[in-house]
Chain A
Amino acid sequence: MSVAEFVKNLKPNNSEFGLKSKALLEGKDFPTTKDEYWKYTRLRKLTKNEFYQKDGSISTDLNSIWKEDIPNRLVVVNGIYSPELSKHNLNITSGIESIAKEIPGKDEINSGDDQIFSLIGKAFAQDGLKIDLNNTKEWDELQIIFVNTQNGAIANSLIRIKASKNANARILCNYVSEGAGVGFTNSYFNLETEANANLELINLQAENPNCFHVQSVNGVQARDSKISVWNFSSGADLIRNNVNIRQDGKGCDTHVNGLYYGEEKQHVDNHVFIDHASEDCESNELFKGVMNGQATGVFNGRVIVRKDSQRINAFQQNSNILLSDKATINSKPELEIYADDVKCSHGSVTGQLDENALFYLKARGISEDRARKMLVSSFLEEVVETLATEELKNYVVRQMAQKIDLLDHE
């Protein structure tokens, strides 16, 4: 299907990079399962709908979502920053022009995928956020709630985050939706870490079942910096996450972790691309999924180690549990190694819930339902454990448990 047809109701922004992006979309079609990086993800259920740019007031109870101890709070409704609902004391500017100069028209990371959705976001976003983080003494913490009001809303959000030299920052993003009808959230992040900066981005995708979410995270790291991205996916009918990180300086560390749950006909797709473009760097990926009903999951972990990138450690693990025999997982590592002093490992396991463990728990008097929850939660725990603080771990499990009946929580 043509992109032109899909965007026919949308008004482009008139920023320079917006127009450039729009020009790049000309004559383009959406990728199909014939395209290498879309092999297992059919976009039809998203692209067959009509979407409109909307502003609007919201009725979602944000208090049930705010993580109490985070002082800085932003709300973005249908891609548009809402200053009335936000409060913060960080260096943040909004407006499409705020990021126009900092985001190039074509993505700077060549992940092999032509990034149609990033281009749509850049061409049709109505707003943008530029977040500059420079706290070198302690952690800056920021929470952003993205609300999609459905009824055919498309929420294109463009976020540019820069952590300057030695800065430490943790950004928690919650995606929720309200209302009837379909909703599409198309979010784009541009991350940059200067030397020795440490940036964490935690995404909680918990939209309603008739929503769609495509997220593209593009990060570039300078020397000795660290970027960690988490994708916790427990909502939406179709989710596609692209995390593309390039290590430009020596001594970088990159962590990309994810946890996903799908039921009924949900589809969750995580594509991660790590470009080891410098030496003495490390990358770690841990993705775990539980698929129920007729849900389908995809994990694709592509890692390139460039010719002169010596002393690289790159680890990747994807494990899945299928709770029904109609659920499926497609898991694929792609390692392209051109340097010789490299330690790489990858593993992929897909299995069922351990029936013997289930029987053991039940034989001690634990109900079937609870026993299943204990086993699912313990399986997913490994990913939750990679979060920095106990409060954050508890928060994430609590939020996810609202969507996943199978999670055991206090």
Chain B
Amino acid sequence: MLKIQNLHAEIDGKEILKGLNLEVKAGEVHAIMGPNGAGKSTLASVLAGKEDYEITKGSVEFEGKDLLDMETDERAKEGLFLAFQYPVEIPGVSNINFLRTAINEKREYLGQEPISAKDFMAMVRERSKLVELDSKLANRSVNVGFSGGEKKRNEIFQMAMLEPKLSVLDETDSGLDIDALRIVAKGVNALKKEDTASIVITHYQRLLDYIVPDFVHVLYDGKIVKSGPKELALELEEKGYDWIKEEVVNH
């Protein structure tokens, strides 16, 4: 589904991703962990198409197509979803209108008819229930006045509405209490299908108790420096990153 090869990206002349490789197949869940500033959010932004980053080397293939060649909205229409680490507040744009616009633009792109108002509202009710997002929030301006936890749930709600093939969750668990964490995980798991995949960026192994990954990767200094089964997360939680940094240096 996703194939990242030797990806180098820089911002304001500073190289952040320094030859990153990652392959994600349909049906898989990949966790990415790593110290602050390693480049995890940078990877997520580069995948989503943020223009501030310059790709200097490497390639990203998504469902057999050149992802880096697509506009941000095209990537989303092709089925990529990024749950932001810091969701943006957009005063005056209602959550509902924005989602209906997004869904209909995607449907048009795929050659489908626009969703009917009735089907759309039914979908809103069902999916907001899934992440236990107060339906009142759906009518408010995007993220404006939402608590930290509500913003994160709103990200998963949007993901549920847009039904992406590949979702990248950037620290969706940080700032969540244990109940919210369970709800978010429940949402993610409910949407898991054979032909979808996710990349879960997190600092905490506790999320991985709920969203069980097939692989855990360590991103350090712009590269994936270690990959392993889900037990790697436990080891990282216990020992921190120093031993990995040493391994990298000694290599």
- Beyond A360-B90, A381-B92, whether A365 also contacts B84 by CB under 8 A is no
CB nearest neighbor in B for A377: B92
**Total interface residues in chain B, CB < 8 Å:** 31
**Chain A hits for B48, CB < 8 A:** 359, 363
With the chains together, A370 CA to B77 CA distance in Å? 14
Within the complex, what minimum Cβ distance (angstroms) separates B75 from chain A? Answer: 8
Best-buried of B48, B91, B93 by chain A (most CB within 10 Å): B93
Query: What's the interface size class on A, roughly?
Result: 20 to 34
Residue from the list A357, A367, A382 in contact with B90, Cβ < 8 A: A357
Which residues, 64 to 116 on B, are CB-close (under 8 Å) to A?
A: 71-73, 75-77, 82, 84, 87-93, 97-99, 101-102, 105-106, 109
Chain B 128-145 per-residue mask, 1 if CB under 8 angstroms from chain A, else 0: 000000000000011000
CB nearest neighbor in A for B101: A366
- Beyond A362-B72, A364-B158, A364-B162, whether A374 also contacts B101 by CB under 8 A is yes
B49 at the binding interface (Cβ < 8 Å): yes
CB nearest neighbor in A for B87: A360
B193 at the binding interface (Cβ < 8 Å): no
Interface pair B77/A361, CB less than 8 Å apart: no
B50 at the binding interface (Cβ < 8 Å): yes
CB nearest neighbor in A for B103: A365
**Chain B hits for A366, CB < 8 A:** 73, 98, 101-102, 105
Interface pair A375/B90, CB less than 8 Å apart: yes
Residue from the list B71, B75, B99, B142 in contact with A368, Cβ < 8 A: B71
Residue from the list A356, A363, A370 in contact with B76, Cβ < 8 A: A363
Residue from the list B97, B105, B142 in contact with A365, Cβ < 8 A: B105
- Beyond A368-B71, A370-B101, A374-B101, whether A363 also contacts B91 by CB under 8 A is no
A378 at the binding interface (Cβ < 8 Å): yes
CB nearest neighbor in B for A376: B92
- Beyond A360-B84, A363-B82, whether A374 also contacts B98 by CB under 8 A is yes
5 interchain pairs (CB within 8 A)? A356-B88, A362-B72, A368-B73, A370-B105, A374-B101
Residues of B within 8 A of A (CB): 48-51, 71-73, 75-77, 82, 84, 87-93, 97-99, 101-102, 105-106, 109, 141-142, 158, 162
